[in-house]
Amino acid sequence: MKLSTKFRPVLFIVVLLAAWQIAIDRHPAQILPGPIAVAKAIIELLRHGILFKYVVASLFRVTWGFALAAVLAIPLGLMLGWYRRGERALYPLVQIFRPISPLAWIPIAILWFGVGDSAAIFLIFVGCFFPMLLIAMSAVHNIPAVYINAGQNFGLSSREFATRVLYPAVTPQLLTGLRITLGIAWLVVVAAEMISVNSGLGFLIVDARNAGNRYDLVVAGMVIIGLIGLLLDLAMRSLEQVKSIHWSSSEE
């Protein structure tokens, strides 16, 4: 029973691919390449060594933009969540910048950094910074009062309180937020690569469209983007399941 349940998603994908191919074969206009053509396009990218190069380029930009946002936004968000006066002072400014789409920053990014990796990394940073900041602030707000009171009653120093109460309590919620934000980063890098760089999976889609309407390569790029996004999400989900990061496993 468990085995059949595990294979249901695979079976569904096979049925979906078969229906896709049948629909393409019966449609005379061929407005969309079928799964066989897309698979041949992926093999072509592999044979020419382009796929690995572009995947590495996209992951490089995502890693740097995401990491820079985490390093700056999470400590700042924890601090603002704990010191409510600072939060009240900066919250209006955060809410002004947060709704601005990262893509709206493309002209500014190109003006500041030119066309290249730095501009794409900056756009990813902007797209991740404010969600991470708000998630960290919310994580502090959601710490049960009993934990805070217990830490204060035991006379913990500021450092001990942060390491033994604050960080263990907020880590599960931060990891969930990081998983969501990583998805945003992957979305932003594809859009940024369509405009500000000459490599990566986003560039692959635009270049294939411009170079002779190679829609098989366009769809191949979309499929690869989706698969890598799935793998990144699964990796973050597996990290969430590590027992040592949960509060219940952090108690001594």
Query: What's the sign of the alpha-carbon dihedral 73, 87, 148, 140?
Result: negative
The pTM is what?
0.83
CATH of the domain at 68: 1.10.3720.10
pLDDT tens for each residue of 93-138: 888 888 888 888 988 988 898 888 888 999 999 999 999 999 988 8
Domain membership of residue 156 (yes or no) is yes
Residue 94 Cα distances to 126, 179, 181, 192, angstroms: 12, 21, 17, 23
CB burial of residue 208 (10 Å; 0-12, 13-18, 19+): buried
Domain membership of residue 116 (yes or no) is yes
* Structure confidence at residue 48 (pLDDT): 87
Secondary structure letter of residue 28 according to DSSP = T
* Separation between Cα atoms, residue 108 and residue 104, nearest integer Å: 8
Tokens 């945003």 correspond to 184
Domain membership of residue 207 (yes or no) is yes
pLDDT at 2 over 60: no
pLDDT at 66 over 90: yes
Q: What is the mean pLDDT of the chain?
A: 82
Domain that holds residue 222: 34-250
* Structure confidence at residue 192 (pLDDT): 86
CA Rg, the chain, in Å?
23
Domain membership of residue 16 (yes or no) is no
* Structure confidence at residue 49 (pLDDT): 85
* Structure confidence at residue 121 (pLDDT): 92
> Mean pLDDT over residues 31-44, rounded?
85
- Percentage of residues in the chain having pLDDT higher than 70: 88
Domain membership of residue 28 (yes or no) is no
> Mean pLDDT over residues 210-216, rounded?
78
Domain membership of residue 242 (yes or no) is yes
Domain membership of residue 3 (yes or no) is no
Domain membership of residue 212 (yes or no) is yes
- The total domain count for the chain is 1
